[in-house]
């Protein structure tokens, strides 16, 4: 599982979800081209072969638990130059209250980094991702609770909207997988039969 700083792809130059799904489709096609012939030659169990591919290429849909957000707090000394809009004296050090919000998830959470089909905002929050948990920080010199709540809700809204924008394409990918694998396998069977007929003519 990926861990560390989680960078959302830029909608201007970043990787889209469609790019990622297309690459997975190419990988699936290449695997079938490289392995189906041996199954066909050996009169192997085609159903098991297809089911295994479908299982391995099915995407575990990402989910986030927005109902059970954990909070922790700490203080840090931060230079005023890093506190635009809050520091009265940019050359002074300030004692800053930092609240970390954490929410757990499951499925292929790494997919949240990709740009959805409908695009994405040009700005996006700074989050961290470790194991099955997303976290982000809200900080304040003055403990302005309303402002901190607004910043928290902006980040949560971004995550909710990103998840909602990605899920339809991921669900469609999974629905189409059985048919796509079967179709690609049948193409390899036809190719094998054609090659066998040609080989018999030599």
Q: What is the pLDDT of residue 123?
A: 83
pTM across the whole model: 0.85
Q: Give the pLDDT of the chain (202 residues) as one tens digit per residue.
A: 455 567 888 888 889 999 999 999 999 999 999 999 999 888 889 999 999 999 999 999 999 999 999 999 999 888 877 777 676 777 788 888 999 999 999 999 999 999 999 888 778 888 998 888 999 999 888 899 999 999 999 999 999 999 999 999 999 999 999 999 999 999 999 988 887 777 788 7
If we measure between CA atoms, which residue out of 99, 85, 107 comes closest to residue 163? 107
**Distance, CA of 100 to CA of 75 (rounded, Å):** 11
Q: What is the pLDDT of residue 3?
A: 52
Residue in this structure with the two tokens 């927005």, named with its chain if needed: 66
Q: What is the pLDDT of residue 4?
A: 56
Q: What is the pLDDT of residue 79?
A: 80
Q: What is the pLDDT of residue 12?
A: 86
Q: What is the pLDDT of residue 62?
A: 96
Q: What is the pLDDT of residue 167?
A: 97
Q: What is the pLDDT of residue 113?
A: 93
DSSP result, the chain: --EEEEPPPPTTTS-BHHHHHHHHHHHHHHHHHHHHHHHHHTT--HHHHHHHHHHHHS----EE-TTS-EEEEEEEEEEGGG-TTT-SSTTSEEEEEEEEEEEEEES-GGGGGSBPTT---S----EEEETTEEEEEEEESS--HHHHHHHHHHHHHHHHHHHHHHHHHHHHHHHHHHHHHHHHHHHHHHHHHHHHHHHHT-
């Amino acid at each position: 599982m990926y861990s560390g700083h989680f960078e959302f792809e830029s909608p201007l130059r970043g990787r889209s979800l469609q790019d990622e799904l297309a690459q997975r489709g190419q990988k699936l096609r290449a695997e079938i081209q490289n392995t189906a012939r041996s199954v066909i030659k050996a009169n192997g169990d085609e159903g098991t072969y297809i089911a295994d591919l479908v299982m391995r290429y099915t995407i575990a849909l990402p989910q986030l638990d927005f109902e059970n957000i954990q909070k922790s707090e700490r203080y840090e000394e931060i230079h005023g130059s890093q506190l635009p809009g809050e520091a009265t004296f940019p050359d002074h050090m300030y004692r800053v209250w930092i609240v970390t919000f954490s929410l757990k998830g499951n499925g292929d959470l790494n997919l949240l980094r990709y740009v959805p089909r409908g695009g994405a905002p040009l700005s996006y929050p700074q989050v961290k991702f470790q194991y099955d948990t997303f976290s982000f920080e809200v900080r304040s010199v003055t403990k302005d609770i309303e402002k901190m709540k607004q910043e928290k809700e902006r980040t949560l809204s971004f995550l909710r909207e990103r998840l909602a924008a990605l899920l339809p394409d991921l669900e469609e990918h999974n629905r189409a997988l059985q048919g796509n694998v079967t179709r690609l396998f049948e193409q390899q069977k036809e190719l094998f039969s054609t090659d066998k007929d040609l080989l018999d003519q030599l």
